[in-house]
């Protein structure tokens, strides 16, 4: 019984190419009381592995958060499988704006304390008292209201390449860091302003809206389905697009283009650019924005030191990073003194 991924990324990439089958990148989440997350986790892995589903999923007592790649011919089977789970029946699936067969190269389903790391004690407030959900049209309307404060609930490296016009953009590394900061900075507007929130797919706003209502905000709204669903509705219904730039996504694509605007710059030379890369040095993996010219010059690396390391034989690289950990960079994406043009 296989309950864990056994193939390397390269092995999976070859299998995807050999299969010659189009794949769909999608995401979904659902808050629901899961009695035994570990059993549920194993159940999902067994069935999704059989369907050749790839991606990253977190299961917790509070629900599920999934970002997946599904073979297009098995999409109906996948939907039927979800519909067979009571609390996932007819769950909204956020289909990616831009598709890529290699968006995910392995299947991981993990049990976590929470499906999103928010740092909140859920016993102190009613997490079901969420804000009012808005579709793209209503979101656009409220965005134009002078009594509205629009807040980006994402992290700095996400909003740097794309965001809604006029949105308040907290300069934070993590979601849990943004909650008390926003509450403090907007405390004087709790009674008379409309708090309008958005994130990538909606999951962060689900918890944040309940938190802010608990903190005394009277008028709390959230973009249903996040930026992904907003882009779909804008394209299908011919609506005005209020989002500028790219939407950062947490898979191998790293971004989806929503508008032609390039609002960021290469962190190494300052040229207009909005393409994130990970430093190829296995002991670094810093996420940063790099233009094609710097990518060629630096071999995709964030610094000349990393460039020297990746030029070494693999065994020598492994020897040098033995005992070293790069976990300190996980929540410091795009923040490094070596990045001259990172604001």
Supply the residues annotated as catalytic.
Answer: 199
Using CA atoms of 58, 59, 63, 64 in order, give the dihedral in degrees to the nearest 10: 40
Helices (H) and strands (E) in the chain, counts: 11, 14
167: tokens are 């949105």
Q: Is 163 exposed, middle or buried (0-12, 13-18, 19+ CB in 10 A)?
A: buried
How far the first Cα of the chain sits from its last, in Å, is: 49
Q: Nearest CA to 77 among 122, 115, 24? A: 24
Largest CA distance in the chain: 62
From CA 245, how far away is CA 229, in angstroms rounded? 16
Quickly count: other Cβ atoms within 10 Å of residue 296's Cβ: 10
Looking at the DSSP bridge assignments, the partners of residue 227 are none
């Amino acid at each position: 019984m296989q309950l864990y991924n056994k193939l390397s990324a390269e092995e999976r990439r070859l299998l995807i190419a050999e299969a010659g089958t189009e794949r769909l990148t999608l995401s979904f989440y659902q808050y629901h009381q899961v009695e035994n997350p570990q059993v549920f986790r194993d159940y999902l892995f067994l069935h999704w592995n059989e369907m050749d589903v790839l991606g990253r999923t977190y299961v917790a007592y509070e629900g599920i958060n999934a970002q997946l790649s599904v073979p297009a011919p098995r999409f109906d089977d996948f939907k039927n499988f979800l519909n067979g789970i009571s609390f996932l029946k007819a769950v909204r699936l956020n289909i990616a704006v831009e598709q890529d067969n290699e968006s995910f190269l392995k299947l991981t389903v993990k049990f976590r304390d929470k499906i999103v790391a928010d740092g909140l004690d859920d016993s102190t407030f009613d997490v079901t008292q969420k804000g009012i959900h808005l579709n793209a049209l209503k979101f656009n309307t409220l965005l134009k209201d002078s009594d509205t404060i629009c807040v980006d609930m994402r992290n700095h490296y996400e909003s740097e390449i794309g965001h809604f016009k006029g949105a308040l953009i907290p300069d934070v590394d993590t979601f849990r860091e943004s909650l008390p900061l926003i509450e403090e900075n907007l405390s004087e507007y709790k009674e008379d302003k409309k708090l309008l929130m958005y994130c990538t797919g909606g999951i962060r706003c689900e918890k944040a809206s309940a938190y802010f209502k608990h903190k005394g905000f009277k008028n709390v709204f959230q973009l249903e389905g996040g930026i992904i669903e907003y882009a779909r509705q804008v394209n299908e219904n011919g609506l005005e697009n209020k989002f500028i730039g790219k939407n950062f996504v947490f898979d191998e694509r790293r971004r989806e283009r929503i508008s032609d605007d390039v609002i960021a710059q290469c962190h190494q030379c300052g040229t207009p650019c909005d393409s994130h890369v990970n430093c190829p040095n296995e002991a670094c993996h810093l996420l940063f924005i790099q233009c094609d010219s710097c990518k060629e010059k630096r071999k995709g690396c964030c610094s000349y030191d990393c460039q020297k390391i990746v030029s070494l034989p693999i065994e020598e690289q492994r020897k040098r990073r033995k005992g070293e950990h790069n976990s300190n960079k996980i929540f410091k994406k795009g923040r490094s003194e070596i990045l001259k043009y990172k604001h």
